[in-house]
Amino acid sequence: MTGNLNLAIGNPEAVATGHRSTGVNTDLNRSFSEKNLGGTGVSFRTSSSSSSATSYEEERARFLAPILSKTDLLIDIHATNKPGPCFARIAGNIANEHYRILNSFSCVTHVLLDPKYTLGGGQVVATDEFVGMHGGIGICIETGQALDLSRLNAIKNDILTVLRDEINLELEEENYCPSEVDVDIKHTISTAVEKDQNTLSSSSPPRRSLKQFVLEEAILLDECGFDWASIDGEIAGSYNFQLVSAGSPIGYCHLGGKDNGSYGENSDSASSVVPISRPFDSYLLFPKIQKLFVHGKPVVWLAKSVSEAEQQSIAAQ
């Protein structure tokens, strides 16, 4: 493959202020929807409805959309607000090309499959999904907790490997030297997460070593509110891929409660507390911290672990 390499900061105004978005209810990586982009001239499969951008994120998505619609390969580098392993998210149709590229990422130990676009409520909303819808390969790499820079050199070297293998582009390697603050942040990652991470190596991991998961559903914040449950002495939602066994509470809602979180201490009676559980082993993804709770939006997504045979079945759908 040959062509042009584009490097971009997705949301420069948010980065300048040290936040993910410019507003509480805005998110660039949920703005690549038909509703927002229908009037930009970028084709969608169903209709060409038009709408007016109401936020900086929507305006930014409209600016990026014509570029992304012609992109052959997108590596969207993300970080989460909770710690966890380095993982890749693949949405929509899953192809061998996705795994070929993932073989260049030595730090990736988990793969989150999202064939039904569950992250966006069943529709294309994210950059990698948008690229995939237009015939390219889009992969989101979640590097870990936003303030933890311990994987920075590994991620950068992996990106250099992708550039070399995919477009024959050689760039000089320059390692990042972590500061004392970075080291302190690294030590705040919980022991449970550290046990779940594989040791980084300079070689690409074999495909069979990747732990595979499929995104199932989201738990939305409603008028009953939400409190995280306790799991064997740990608070649920503490890190990505935290396991909650089938039938065990993920959290609690409160009948007659408020809709902005944390209701356990304010509940009128124990009978008003309703546990939230699922009949399958659930792995928690993208759990929200309390200040990011928004009514009608997810507080967490749930995933199932899948075998290689099940993954092949998902890819064939």
Q: Give the pLDDT score at 42.
A: 62
Q: Give the pLDDT score at 172.
A: 74
Candidate from 25-34, 187-196, 225-234 with smallest mean pLDDT: 187-196
- The residue assigned the tokens 């992708």 is 162
Q: Give the pLDDT score at 187.
A: 41
Q: Is a pLDDT exceeding 80 seen at residue 48?
A: no
| CA proximity to 305, closest of 296, 292, 314, 316 | 314
- Note the pLDDT tens digit of each residue in 3-32: 788 888 999 998 898 888 888 778 898 999
Candidate from 24-33, 70-79, 176-185 with smallest mean pLDDT: 176-185
How does DSSP assign 7-61, residue by residue?
---S-HHHHHHTSSSSSTT--GGG--SHHHHTTTT---SS--------SHHHHHH
Q: Is a pLDDT exceeding 50 seen at residue 259?
A: no
Average pLDDT (100-110) is 94
C-beta of residue 184 within 8 angstroms of C-beta of residue 140:
no
Side-chain half-sphere CA neighbours of 250 within 13 A: 27
Q: Give the pLDDT score at 313.
A: 62
* 3-state secondary structure at position 76: strand
Q: What is the mean pLDDT of the chain?
A: 81
Q: Give the pLDDT score at 146.
A: 87
Average pLDDT (126-154) is 94
Separation CA 162–CA 164 (nearest Å): 5
